Amino acid sequence: MSSGDYVHGYSATESQRLSDQANTLSGLLHYDSVFHPAGLVLEVGCGTGAQTVIVAPQNPQCDFISIDIAGDSLIKAEKNIKNKGIRNVKFQVADVFNLPFNEESFDHVFVCFLLEHLQEPVRSLTLLKKVLKKGGTITVIEGDHGSAYYYPRSSAAQATIQCLIDVQASLGGNSLIGRELYPLLVAAGFGKISVSPRIVYADASKPEMVDGFTRKTFIAMVEGVKEQAINRGLITEGEWGRGIADLYRSADSDGTFCYAFFKALGKKP
């Protein structure tokens, strides 16, 4: 994939969405993101550093090299960690399919929301295994848009989510990849694999989840493919408007929203 094929794009709105997503989900996804033994961590597809600013300070015993294919995102990431006084991270422009590192260089690899955008996820994992030391660990976190369900149910809302799934698939990605993490890691030759679903649930008793996840993470992500979906003839403007209104309806005081992320751990034998 070139950075131009990336479904969510690199706008300031998307950068803000990634930050809202990471902050809202930090407890759920990262309470156990602690890398042992101490050593060198390769973060792959770090983007603007939304996960880096959570995981790096949580692991002061480790140094991080955080890579992304998009140099502009790394400039923002660099600013982000400097502002927060984080000192154990170096950023580098690099493609996961052309890693500029020697074999067995890293103690841990950390991947968050990257595989869903790659045409060859198993090949990327196999290449990451090469740069891991024997006995080194990999942590992979991905979502799965097939896991979204909400109240009130709405076929119009479901159609907008399907547009995101279809646009991403047409760019070679797979937004239903969370459920596949176990077989993908097996295929890449990792051992000691364990996968845990991390369920987000939002209703009016958790206003920070309704705002941070339902509105600012999930609906914002779907809204991001509006032009692409309409231009590709996947949906009409009217259907889109009705579907998005129904998604927002699930963030009302009597609505609910549920979604599963998957976090997988594996070891290089």
Ligand X SMILES: C[S@@+](CC[C@H](N)C(=O)[O-])C[C@H]1O[C@@H](n2cnc3c(N)ncnc32)[C@H](O)[C@@H]1O
Chain contacts with ligand X (rule: CB under 6 A): 1, 3, 6, 8, 18, 22, 44-47, 50-51, 68-70, 73, 95-97, 112-114, 117
Taking the least distance from each CB to ligand X, the nearer of 1 and 265 is 1
Q: Give the CA angle between residues 73, 75, 77 to the nearest 5°.
A: 70
Between residues 112 and 264, which has the closer beta carbon with respect to ligand X?
Answer: 112
Task: Give least dist CB 95 to ligand X, A.
Answer: 4
Q: Could you tell me the smallest distance in angstroms from the CB atom of residue 196 to ligand X?
A: 18
DSSP notation for 133-153: EEEEEEEEEEE-GGG-EEES-
Asked if residue 178 lies in contact with residue 143, where contact means CB atoms within 8 angstroms, the answer is yes
User: Of 112 and 229, which CB lies nearer to ligand X in the complex structure?
Assistant: 112
**Please, what is the minimum distance in Å from the beta carbon of residue 124 to ligand X?**
7
> Between 3 and 105, whose beta carbon lies closer to ligand X?
3
**CA–CA gap between residue 154 and residue 138 (Å, rounded):** 38
- For residue 246, the 8-state DSSP code is H
Contacting residues for 268 by C-beta, under 8 A, at least 6 apart = 129, 132, 133, 134, 135, 136, 137, 138, 189, 190, 191
Q: What counts of helices (H) and strands (E) characterise the chain?
A: 10, 8
Q: Which is nearer to ligand X, 42 or 210 (CB)?
A: 42
Q: Please list the residues that pair with 68 across neighbouring strands.
A: 93
State the minimum distance, in angstroms, from the CB of residue 37 to ligand X.
Answer: 24
Does the bond joining 197 to the residue before it have cis omega, within 30 degrees of 0? no
For residue 156, the minimal CB distance to ligand X (Å) is 26
Distance of alpha carbon 181 from alpha carbon 70, whole angstroms:
25
Looking at the Cβ atoms of 6 and 259, the one nearer to ligand X is 6
Q: How far is the CB of 236 from ligand X (least distance, A)?
A: 28
